[in-house]
Amino acid sequence: MTNLIQEGSKVILYLGYNNLHVIKAKANEVYQTKFGALKHNDLIGKEFGSKIICTKGYVHALSVIPELWTLALPHRTQILYMADISLILLELDIKPGSIVIEAGTGSGSLSHSIIRSLRPNGHLYTFEFHELRSNLARNEFEEHGLSQFVTVQHRDVLSNGFEHENIADAVFLDLPAPWNAIEHVMKVLKKTGGRLCTFSPCIEQVQRTCQRLHMNNFEEINTVECLRRIHEFRYQHRSKIRFTADQNQEEIIDRKSNKREPDDDDGDEEEETTTNKKLKNDSEATTKRQPQETESTLTAIGPLVMPGHTGYLTFAYIKQE
Amino acid sequence: MSTFKDGDHAVLTCHDRTKIVQIRKGRPIFIDKNKIFLDHLIDQRDGSYFELKDKYLCNIGTNQAKKLIQTEDISSDNAGQDNRDLCDDGSVNQTLQHEEIEQLKSEGVSGQLIISQLVSKSATFEKKTAFSQQKYLNKKKKKYILIYRAWKPSIRLLCQAYTHDLQKILYLRRDTLAMLLSLSNINHGSNVAIVESCQGLILASVIQRCAGGNGFIFNLTPAGEKNSTSPCCDFMDFSNEYTTNVYTIPIENVGDLNTIERANQAKPIEKPTNEKTLQALERRQRRLDGLQLFEKTKLNSLIIASKYDSLSILQHLIDYLALSSHFVIYSQTVQNLLECYQFLKKRGGNIHVEIADSWLREYQILDERTHPFIRMSGASGYLLSGMIVQS
């Protein structure tokens, strides 16, 4: 895979955090961004990762890698995100050479990650019952140079099954009624053993799926939910309370070290605190204490609002023959 | 179909326990201080069931095994309605004594028989609700019916095996490992540098995902020693094809161009007399080759999950990363990563920098008894990830 942007390359423009645009490089064309016009000619021949100057700023040109694609892709359906995708890949043991079945294709978010993991000698068969969606996905794989690793089929697997038999190392189902596909799954999974994963947002769906899996002798069935919390970086500035007790202490020290005339009596404590602000401006002693008064630390804090639920992932082994 | 051969590794599972073992003829392993021979695993298929018979794990049919470990279905006819009649008044509920059970076990009485005796000698079993009876039986099965399953090792199973030994792998949970692999964009053909202290779990995952591609995998360890990362790589029984592009190099010498020169000057003391020194020389040459290769290679991914200071490692290695490459740093605490973040912001040339942790919750799915597991892991550690771009 070349690392240079060519005519016809898909490019992800990174304008800022969570601000990604997808374009196809075409000579002489111009693309409008919030940083002004971007000439496609400035892209072509550059290395991926380059900074591209626009009329009012710059963007970074990146290649289509699965994680960015997930954030930038045109949504045709609900999609799976990085946390669930990663866990699916690990739990389904998807590795180079794996034969994987996916239904439905949806917007192709998971498909891209699966393909990355099974290259160069594995294959993904992905099924979608919505014809337009399956065509769009097929085009995208073509544009991203992944066609040889994936077969996209327009097919309703619930009624028609997966067409193939005894070929898959792993099956992933993201269907409204995955339990109705279990018999088909048993046909397509390798008889010598294979893994199944279903994704369902509702617990009732999970229950029906698990019932059906038990009935069909699936093994080691387990259900998990995974959420990723992206933290925010923030400098936390904390002002300190000026305790009068400490101040007295400091004053004694100040007096000793500065050998200032003892203007104030100890009895003036209350007045001292009320006139604190004034003192702060002109007194030498307080400017010395200044650095102690606010403390700044870089912190990472969890998101105030975050996606609290995506779906339940259920994994199982098919019973070996 | 993969079968086990002499010398292979296997992951043994028994209920919720997992153990990684090596199969060697005539060499026992130890489980709970019991000597067990694995000779009969040889030539058996991945996922086969085994029963312990006279110190040997012996293959049993899938159907027979499933019958033994199947969870009990109990009708509510012989069960109580609720727990109003159950009270712990201090009297002895179970009359079968521990010594008697041990006696039965040593006589070779089957687990099933022991469980039925336990049930018949339990004063309260019949008063329990059907759900409660089922729970009781399943608990006893876990204790008395020991059916093992032997699996070919996979990264998933290694993670499972380490769940009770998390301190050995810096508390890296499987979902965190999964995300680390995604975020570093590891794929066939990547040039990857790894600095890890997780028993080689990350290295093994990377080797598997790269599958002997054209790229190089650099395993950076103190003094170029393999010991810290060899366990998991050994468990995976990788073929030579997978490991020819893996170089373990001394991290201290990275960026020091004099190292190779010095090494070459020191070379004359050659006396390849016995096999051991010959091997040592080979290893040394491999380290030097790797080091030279590393200086010339532009990395596509950098993964740090080390017990050493991540910031100084990052500072040292970041310039080896190519444009549009990925870095991921794992740490159990967020503070280490904040230092790295501050450095990255100051340096520039990186985008999409994120710090994240994750939450993994397992569920019990049973008719009318579905709920999350009572216990869950609450500390996944944190991942700092980002991409290198032109600044």
Q: Which residue has the higher pLDDT, A115 or B80?
A: A115
Separation in Å, CA of B364 to nearest CA in chain A: 7
Q: What are phi and psi of A110, to 5 degrees?
A: -70, -40
Judge: B365–A229 Cβ closer than 8 Å, yes or no: no
Residue-wise pLDDT tens digits, A264-313: 444 444 444 444 444 445 444 444 555 568 888 899 999 999 999 999 99
CATH of the structural domain A69-228+308-317, one choice from 2.60.40.10, 3.40.50.150, 3.30.50.10, 2.40.160.60? 3.40.50.150
Residue-wise pLDDT tens digits, A28-60: 999 999 999 999 999 999 999 999 999 999 999
Average pLDDT, chain A: 88
B residues 332..371 contacting A (CB < 8 A): 334, 337-338, 341-342, 351-352, 354-363, 365, 367, 370
Range(s) of chain A covered by CATH 3.40.50.150: 69-228+308-317
| CB B187 within 8 Å of CB A116 | yes
Average pLDDT over residues A95-114: 95
Q: How far apart are the first and last CA of chain B?
A: 51
Judge: B209–A66 Cβ closer than 8 Å, yes or no: no
Contacts of B99 (CB under 8 A, 6+ apart): none
Specify the pLDDT at position B270. 58
- Full strand arrangement of the beta sheet holding B56-60: B17-22, B9-14, B147-151, B48-53, B56-60, B34-37, B28-31
Specify the pLDDT at position A292. 61
Across A193-207, A276-290, B115-129, the highest mean pLDDT is recorded for: A193-207
CATH architecture assignment, domain A10-63: Roll (3.10)
Judge: A300–B352 Cβ closer than 8 Å, yes or no: no
Kindly report which listed range (A280-294, B11-25, B113-127, B234-248) carries the lowest average pLDDT score: A280-294
Say what the ipTM of the complex is.
0.90
Average pLDDT over residues B2-30: 91
Specify the pLDDT at position B157. 95
* C-alpha–C-alpha distance, residues B110 and B140, integer Å: 13
Which of B324, B330, B346 best tests the A interface by mutation, with the highest count of A CBs <10 A?
A: B324
Q: How confident is the model at residue B246 (pLDDT cuts 50, 70, 90)?
A: very high
Element (H, E) at B294: helix B275-296
Specify the pLDDT at position B75. 67
CB burial readout B31-66, b (16+ within 10 A) else e: beeeebbbebbeebebbbbbbeeeeebeebebeebe
Q: What are phi and psi of B172, to 5 degrees?
A: -80, 110
Can you tell me whether residue A308 is helix, strand or coil? Answer: coil
Separation in Å, CA of A72 to nearest CA in chain B: 13
Average pLDDT over residues B2-6: 90
| CB B323 within 8 Å of CB B388 | yes
Specify the pLDDT at position B83. 75
Residue among B209, B213, B323 whose CB faces A117 most closely: B209
Range(s) of chain A covered by CATH 3.10.330.20: 10-63
Q: Which residue has the higher pLDDT, B249 or A289?
A: B249
* C-alpha–C-alpha distance, residues B290 and A20, integer Å: 38
Can you tell me whether residue B55 is helix, strand or coil? Answer: coil
Average pLDDT over residues B357-382: 92
Average pLDDT over residues B357-370: 92
Q: Is A102 annotated for ligand binding?
A: no
Q: Which residue has the higher pLDDT, B94 or B327?
A: B327
Kindly report which listed range (A79-88, A221-230, A247-256, A271-280) carries the lowest average pLDDT score: A271-280
Q: Examine the pLDDT at B284 and tell me if it is beyond 90.
A: no
